[in-house]
Copies of this chain bind each other. A is one copy, B any other.
Amino acid sequence: MKIAIFGFGAVGRGVAKVLMDRERMSRVLGDYSVVAVADSRGSMVSDSVDLRKALEFKEKTGRLPEGMSVEEIIENVDFDVALELTPTNIETGEPGLTHIKKCLEKGAHVVTSNKGPLVVAYRELERLARKKGVRLMFEATVGGAMPVIKLIRRNLAGNRIESIKGILNGTCNYILSRMEREKLSYRQILAEAKELGIAEANESYDVEGIDSAAKLVILANAVMGMDVKFEDVEVNGITEITPEAFEIALEKGYTIRLIAEVSESELKVGPRLVSLNNPLCVHGTLNAMLIQTDLAGEVFVIGRGAGSVETASAVISDLADIRACSDDL
């Protein structure tokens, strides 16, 4: 299996680190080599890229060495699977959208952690992959290391998915669970979360519910057979929640969580009261998801929604799935 890695941020570097454990990874991927690694400013291309060198170069200089662009690599380098791990832009989907299209057109499988292209053009990409007889996998886009997409598609194959309800953003959950326990204001906890690197400098993408809504769009389209856009989601964030709201909720045995929910009649993200006994009441940066099905009943899962190596785990599971179901790899 010849692998090209596009994007060398936290996820790309996490994947590279995991792929360096060749003995372990070859048990699930068979023979493999990384034939290209690229970020927005440079790349390394060879029959077998030295991942340790790539990581060292990136760490020292903040970029990869000058070389072919991603587009040039897609045109000129032979690979079986592209890992599209560039940053998310949910408005244009770029640059991931163009990368994914060109890779699928070329007949390469694609594994992505990039929500943007899927939010913008899931149906189109899915049709293109089917037409070309290749796989488009995106476990890492929703829930990080928490099994979600393949859990529903494979482990619950044959079930009708009636609804999904979940906590899909670890930053919000971290802020809310600290507000619950420490009775501090949203602003105070947010400031601390930024210091700890749990919230980004520009936090709005997370705390306004945009990230959760993007993930919900992916779930709705990919595992519930819907055809919805980001604009179809009713979105509310957590910025207006007060310590007093928590006090009142806790008195009655509830807490507050940012819940994303999809069913035939609903597609929304917003703060909800959650019973303290409800397994959805997870703490810290964890993600959680309740899947209502007709045969299996309720299936509930909790996992780490973010993190470099955790997200790499999801990417590797997609690669392993492609390999398990492709005779030619």
Give the interface of A toward B (CB within 8 A).
18, 24-25, 28-29, 139, 145-147, 150-151, 154-160, 279, 282, 293, 295-304, 307, 309-310, 312-314, 316-317, 320-321, 324-325, 327
Question: Could you jot down 26 A-B contacts, CB within 8 Å?
Answer: A24-B158, A24-B160, A28-B157, A28-B158, A29-B158, A139-B155, A145-B295, A145-B299, A146-B299, A147-B151, A147-B155, A151-B151, A154-B155, A154-B320, A154-B321, A154-B324, A157-B317, A157-B321, A158-B316, A158-B320, A159-B313, A295-B310, A295-B313, A296-B304, A301-B302, A325-B325
Complex contacts, A327 vs chain B, CB 8 Å: 327
Kindly provide the distance from the CB of A171 to the nearest chain B CB, expressed in whole angstroms: 17
Kindly provide the distance from the CB of A59 to the nearest chain B CB, expressed in whole angstroms: 20
Kindly provide the distance from the CB of A47 to the nearest chain B CB, expressed in whole angstroms: 23
Complex contacts, A303 vs chain B, CB 8 Å: 296-300
Complex contacts, A157 vs chain B, CB 8 Å: 28, 316-317, 320-321
Complex contacts, A312 vs chain B, CB 8 Å: 295
Complex-state Cα separation, A28 to B295, whole angstroms: 14
Q: Write the chain B residue with the least CB distance to A326.
A: B325
B301 touches A145 (CB 8 A): no
Complex-state Cα separation, A146 to B147, whole angstroms: 13
Q: Closest 5 interchain pairs by CB?
A: A157-B320, A145-B296, A147-B155, A295-B313, A300-B302
Mostly helix, strand, loop or mixed at chain A's interface? Answer: mixed
Complex contacts, A146 vs chain B, CB 8 Å: 299
Kindly provide the distance from the CB of A72 to the nearest chain B CB, expressed in whole angstroms: 30
A154 touches B317 (CB 8 A): yes
A150 touches B155 (CB 8 A): yes
B147 touches A299 (CB 8 A): yes
Kindly provide the distance from the CB of A55 to the nearest chain B CB, expressed in whole angstroms: 17
Complex contacts, A310 vs chain B, CB 8 Å: 295-297
Complex-state Cα separation, A157 to B111, whole angstroms: 15
- Beyond A151-B151, A310-B296, A312-B295, whether A158 also contacts B301 by CB under 8 A is no
Complex-state Cα separation, A123 to B310, whole angstroms: 31
B299 touches A302 (CB 8 A): yes
Kindly provide the distance from the CB of A22 to the nearest chain B CB, expressed in whole angstroms: 12
Complex-state Cα separation, A205 to B186, whole angstroms: 52
Complex contacts, A324 vs chain B, CB 8 Å: 154, 325
B158 touches A151 (CB 8 A): no
- Beyond A295-B312, A301-B299, A310-B297, whether A156 also contacts B147 by CB under 8 A is yes
Complex contacts, A316 vs chain B, CB 8 Å: 157-158, 295
B293 touches A298 (CB 8 A): no
Q: Write the chain B residue with the least CB distance to A324.
A: B325
Complex-state Cα separation, A38 to B293, whole angstroms: 29
Q: Write the chain B residue with the least CB distance to A148.
A: B155
